[in-house]
Structure 1
C-alpha cells in the first residue's frame, strides 16, 4: 500500500476500552497516530512546520482546545478543532492553511474529519509526543 498520503486517514475504536489518550507525531513519516489505553485507534498523514518554523520535538500536554479558531499569522484563515501544545501557538488543527505542502508556523495540520474525531475525545493535559523517526521501542509503554 506504500506510505500514507496527505488526506488519507483511518479511525477504528470499536471495542477499544476506555483509557488515556496519547497522540504521537512522527516528523519523518509525517504521520499522526492516536492511542486510547495503549491501542492505536487512528492515524493520518499530516502537514508540519517549515524549516524556518519547525514543528518542535518533545512531549507536550494539550494546553487548550478551540473549536472555531482563526489564524492570526495567515490573515484569519480558519483553523478548526485547534488543540494548542505551546504558549506561542503551535497546535494540532484542521483547515486548509497550506503553503507549499506545509502547515505553517510549526503547527500540525490534518484532514478535518480526522482532527474533529481527536478533538472530540482529547482533553487538556493529554500527552502529545513528537519525534523524528522511530517512536516507541518494542514493549515500551505509551501511557
Structure 2
C-alpha cells in the first residue's frame, strides 16, 4: 500500500531564478591632472666670506681661535708673505687660520723673495744693524738681518727689509711656529700663489670676521 506524500514533499521546492547581473557600466578613462609647475627659484648668491668682504686696516689682523687648539698632527705651520698684498697668511695643513697686515722693505731695502726656514726665534731681540732697534717676537729668516717681528705698520712698505707685524699678532704667531718652519715671501698676490701651489688658499676663505 503506497502512502501518498504530502504535496509539499512530493516535488522538490522550486529554486527561485537568479536575477541577471546588471550590464557593466562603460569604462571611464580618468586623466590625471598635470603636476603643478614648481616656481622657478633663482640661485642664491654665494655668501661673501666676512674676511674677504671687509679689508684690513693697517695694524689689524684676523685669527681663527680654533687654530690655537689645533693638534700638531694637522700639519706644520706654513707662512706666506705677499709683498703686493702687504699681508701675511698663516696656514696649518691646507687651512688658512690667520691673516695680518704687514709692512715690508721700503725702496732700497726690499724684502727678499723666496722660501726661508725660520732660523732663530727670540721673544726679545734688538737690532745690531739699526741703532739697537727693538724687534719683539723676532723670527729670523736670513743671517744678514731679515726677520719677522713686531713693529710699526704705516700701511705701506717702510722697513729695512724685515716683515713688521702687529704686536698682538706677532706674539700669537710666535707661539705656534717652530724653528725650521717655512716662510714663503712672494712678489705675487696670494690669489695667484694659491692658483699655482695647492698648499695655499685664497685669502679669507675660511676666516671668521674677528679682527685682532
- Once superposed, which parts of structure 1, at least 4 consecutive aligned residues long, lie more than 4 Å away? 98-101
Question: Which of residues 78, 100, 122 in structure 2 aligns to 1:66?
Answer: 122
CA distance in 2, matches of 1:100, 1:120: 25
CA distance in 1, matches of 2:116, 2:197: 22
Question: Which of residues 110, 114, 127 in structure 2 aligns to 1:54?
Answer: 110
Partner SS for 2:66:
coil
Structure 1 residues 50, 73: closer, same or farther in 2, change over 3 A? same
In terms of mean alpha carbon deviation, does 104-113 or 68-77 score higher? 68-77
Gaps of 5+ in 2: 1-52, 201-212
Structure with the largest fraction of strand: 1
Partner SS for 1:76:
coil
Q: Does 1:119 align with 2:119?
A: no
Shift of 1:68: 0.3
CA distance in 2, matches of 1:139, 1:71: 34
Structure 1 residues 139, 67: closer, same or farther in 2, change over 3 A? closer
TM-score of the superposed pair, with normalisation by structure 1: 0.87
Correspondence for 1:32? 88
Shift of 1:45: 0.7
> Relative contact order, CA 8 A, sep 6+: which one is greater?
1
Partner SS for 1:119:
helix
| 8 Å contact from structure 2 (residues 103, 155) kept in 1 | no
Structure 1 residues 41, 99: closer, same or farther in 2, change over 3 A? closer
Report the number of matched residues: 141
